[in-house]
Structure 1
Amino acid sequence: MQQQRLSGKDDRAAFYDDVDRKIHQIWKDSNEVYGAPRITAELGERYQIVLNRKTVAKRMRLMGIEGISPRAFVPATTIQSKRKSSLPDLVKRMFDTGELNRVWMSDITYLRTGEGWLYLCAVCDGHSRRVLGWAMDSVQDTFLVERALRMAHTLPW
């Protein structure tokens, strides 16, 4: 007991210092993404240290680190009309006509970035499946599609 007082640290403090270093290393290895549940699992797998998730969360809080939790994402999609589309299917779902530059297709996809979401519109040739034009923006609107079509239209054939 006297020796513990003289050294200034007891076994528990030394243990938690070691655990804190390992928690920080796991957190860094995960690109600062892992939270307490994943770090708890990693401590068990890597170092055979069994700790409660709440203990790991407390140690992380004391060190001022936290994981990144996934954000709920509900993309702004096309709002479909209640009435049936009056546009005819001119290609009758036959996108590959056997000739280049006869049928163009377009699609929009969502890309997660560090700053939020981006919309990517791509225009492809139906036969070659080659991307002819594309555009990206943080807003999904007609200008996005228009820019992708302009790029496809100006492509030299």
Structure 2
Amino acid sequence: MTLRELRCYIRQLPTGSRTRIATGDKDSIWGLQEHLTAVVIDELRTANWQRSNEGVEKRKQSSPPKPVPRPGVGGGRADKNSPQRLQARQRALQRAAERKRALAAGEIT
């Protein structure tokens, strides 16, 4: 069996199977029912927040509720210290330094 065949077999497993979860498939942790329940919870929390702040000055209102975190859904900002972000930042700094050097040497104007 090739690795490709094995990957295809794993993808065909049921969404809640331990093998899919162990391979890092975060989408399989929650099914449709769980996602819909999270949406209902978010809507109820927002509605309660709106009612509790009704008639209150804008500056005295509480902050709106944050949505229920969902696995496999990128809902937040990227980690500032992630390896990809640090690598992209390092490349940008190198390009800026190279451009500054070329400007100082008169290679570009």
- Give the number of the structure whose residues are more often helix, by fraction: 2
Tell me the TM-score normalised to structure 2 length. Answer: 0.27
The structure that has the greater radius of gyration is 1
- Give the number of the structure whose residues are more often strand, by fraction: 1
